[in-house]
Every structure is written in C-alpha cells, then in structure tokens.
C-alpha cells in the first residue's frame, strides 16, 4: 500500500501570487505544508488527496471538487459568496469566513468617516475653499441623524457600537432575531420596514444572498426620510443602480457612499464616477491585514486538524 501524503493546505488569491500568504501562515505554524495553484490548476505532481484545507479568495470554479479529502474551505475575507457561487462546490465540505478583529476596526473607521462626512457636510466646505468663501451660522445637529445598520454580524455590531458611542441614535436589523447589548436590533420584514422609515442614514453590511440581492431599491429609498444618506459596504449586488440614481436625482437621497460595485473595478465611463452625489471608494472599507489574518488562518488549521470547531463557520443554506 502506498504511503499516505502528508496533509497540505491549498492557498489561492485570484490574480495574485500567494507566497506572502503562505509565508505568513507558516510564521505562526512552521510545520504546515502549503501549496498554491499553478496557472489556475493544481501543480504537477501534487496528490489532490493530500489537501485537507483550502484558504482562498475567488478559487476557480470546479477546483474544490478535485480534492477528495477536503475538510474546510476558508474564505480570506468576511464574504463567502465567491465560494457559494461555485456550482460544483462539494456540498459536504464546511465553509468558514475570516474572523479578525482588525477587519472590524477597519470597517468601523470607514463607516464612521463616511457618516461624519455626510453629517458634517464636508463636501460643502471643499467647495467653500475653492470659492474662498466663509459661511456663517453653520450648525450640526447629531440628534437629527438616525442611523440604521442592515446586517448585525461582527462588522455591523462594531460599527453600531462606535456610532452609538459618538452620540448618534443607532438601530440594527438582521434577518433573524439577535440580541446586541446597547443596540436595539429589529428583524424580519416588518423590522426592515420600521428601521428604514425611521433612519435617514442607512448602512448596508449584509451578506449577499438570494434574499438580500437588490435590497437597496426604489421601494426602500422611498420609505426613508427625504434627504437621506446611503452607505453600502456590503456587496455591489445589493444596489439596484438605476433606482439609486433616480433617488439621488429626485432628492429623496442626498448622497451615497459606495465601496462595493456589481463590477469591480468600477468600469470607466460608469455614471457613478461622474455623479456629484456619489462617493466611490475602491472596496477598501475593511482591508485584510496579512499578519493578523494569517494568524487566524493558522489557528483555524490547528483547530480543524485537532477535530475542533473553527471560528466563522457559515450556514450554506443561509449564505452567511
């Protein structure tokens, strides 16, 4: 009987050499053996049965189905839609999202900065500088701002707590009941309706699922108080683009900050680039920090191989 190959992890980052990620994981767990793809295929001479864990970002579809002893597919980010969209994904293999406090802090910084940019009308002062004008009687009323956060996972909860600590009224919404200390969390269709009608700033931190696709649409915008603000840091598929443009043109929405798009990079010539009320950022709201992320991956690998439950396991039926 041939000797069994030593278990290995497969590391893949779409369109990027994964050497730094492999080195980062081995820094925390030097005994781990790791390989990466060669031209989007398994390297020559690799025994597919030796791979027990995949750490990936946008793995080519069908590749995970080639690994008969795969125990876990670990996403390199908080989102797992890039894994669930593979029609040949082995359904019996567990999936985990990245859980890293560094990401929550990064996301919180972005959400807070964009809410304050809107609340403090910083764009207006940029225009004042260009005109060399000095406006008077400028008053900001934080009590006039009501913030609704759609998606109360780790990132949503961190953002909600930070905004609440700044004195803003904050409520959260999730599909199913959830308890978050200090934050009123609504759930279900009625809860979504209630939170949208009372929030003049809506922050989307939802996962992209069949239930949440196109959730930021004309109906939702119409329910918001007039002159509201939209911040989407979830996925581009949450926004119906034509509906957003119409809401901005009518004044129902005052501005929109978008960090994610249906097509990334955002194509040249797209109307979002030119619209004065849209603030685009290049999917940088919650960056992945290699030192802390690779430490989390190393711990996940240890747990899986020890028969323990890793952090961040998702329910494929729910999509998160």
pLDDT tens per residue, range 146-162:
999 999 999 999 999 99
Give the pLDDT band (50/70/90) at residue 145: very high
Res 287: pLDDT: 87
Are 175 and 152 in contact by the 8 Å Cβ rule? The answer is no
pLDDT tens per residue, range 28-60:
999 999 999 999 999 999 999 999 999 999 999
Same fold, 8-100+288-305 and 104-280: yes
Res 75: pLDDT: 98
**Does residue 267 sit in helix, strand or coil?**
coil
**Element (DSSP H or E) covering residue 9:** strand 8-13
Say yes or no to pLDDT of 2 above 50. no
The CA-atom distances, in angstroms, between 20 and each of 27, 34, 36, 110, 318 are: 10, 12, 11, 26, 32
pLDDT tens per residue, range 251-292:
999 999 999 999 999 999 999 999 999 999 999 999 899 999
Res 207: pLDDT: 94
In whole angstroms, give the CA distance from residue 180 to residue 172: 9
Res 4: pLDDT: 53
pLDDT tens per residue, range 13-30:
999 999 999 999 999 999
pLDDT tens per residue, range 230-253:
999 999 999 999 999 999 999 999
Kindly report the pTM of this predicted structure. 0.91
Give the pLDDT band (50/70/90) at residue 3: very low
Give the pLDDT band (50/70/90) at residue 6: confident
Question: Catalytic residue positions?
Answer: 235, 283
Question: Residue 131 is encoded by which pair of tokens?
Answer: 């005109």
Question: Residue 65 is encoded by which pair of tokens?
Answer: 């189905």
Please, is 317 exposed, middle or buried when counting C-beta atoms within 10 Å of its C-beta (0-12, 13-18, 19+)?
exposed
- The domain limits of the chain are 8-100+288-305, 104-280
Q: Which of 217, 172, 176, 169 is nearest to 194 (CA)?
A: 172
CATH fold, domain 104-280, is Rossmann fold (3.40.50)
CATH number of 8-100+288-305: 3.40.50.720
Res 1: pLDDT: 37
Angle at the Cα of 147 from the Cα atoms of 142 and 148, rounded to 5 degrees: 170
In whole angstroms, give the CA distance from residue 284 to residue 130: 28
Provide the mean pLDDT of the chain: 96
102 dihedral zone (left: phi>0; alpha: psi -120 to 50; beta):
alpha
Are 248 and 241 in contact by the 8 Å Cβ rule? The answer is no
């Amino acid at each position: 009987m041939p000797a069994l190959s030593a278990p290995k992890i497969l590391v893949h980052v779409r369109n990027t050499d994964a050497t730094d990620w492999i080195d980062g994981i081995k820094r925390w767990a030097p005994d781990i053996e790791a390989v990466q793809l060669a031209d989007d295929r398994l390297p020559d001479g690799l025994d597919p049965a030796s791979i027990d864990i995949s750490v990936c970002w946008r793995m080519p579809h069908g590749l995970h189905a080639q690994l008969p002893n795969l125990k876990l597919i670990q996403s390199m980010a908080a989102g797992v839609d890039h894994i669930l969209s593979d029609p040949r994904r082995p359904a019996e293999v567990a999936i985990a999202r990245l859980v890293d406090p560094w990401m929550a802090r990064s996301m919180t910084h972005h959400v807070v900065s964009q809410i304050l940019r809107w609340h403090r009308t910083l764009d207006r002062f940029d225009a004042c500088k260009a005109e060399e004008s000095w406006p008077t009687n400028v008053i900001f009323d934080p009590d006039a701002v009501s913030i609704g956060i759609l998606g109360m996972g780790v990132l949503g909860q961190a953002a909600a707590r930070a905004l609440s600590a700044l004195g803003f009224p904050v409520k959260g919404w999730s599909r199913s009941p959830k308890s978050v200390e200090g934050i009123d969390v609504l759930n279900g269709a009625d809860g979504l309706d209630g939170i949208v009608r009372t929030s003049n700033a809506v922050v989307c931190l939802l996962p992209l699922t069949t239930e949440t696709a196109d959730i930021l649409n004309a109906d939702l915008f119409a329910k918001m108080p007039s002159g509201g603000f939209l911040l989407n840091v979830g996925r581009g598929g949450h926004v119906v683009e034509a509906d957003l443009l119409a809401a901005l043109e009518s004044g129902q929405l005052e501005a929109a900050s978008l960090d994610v798009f249906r097509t990334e990079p955002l194509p040249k010539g797209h109307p979002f680039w030119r619209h004065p009320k849209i603030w685009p950022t290049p999917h940088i709201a919650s960056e992945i920090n290699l030192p802390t992320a690779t430490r989390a991956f190393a711990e996940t690998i240890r747990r899986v191989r020890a028969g323990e439950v890793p952090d961040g396991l998702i329910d494929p039926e729910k999509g998160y």
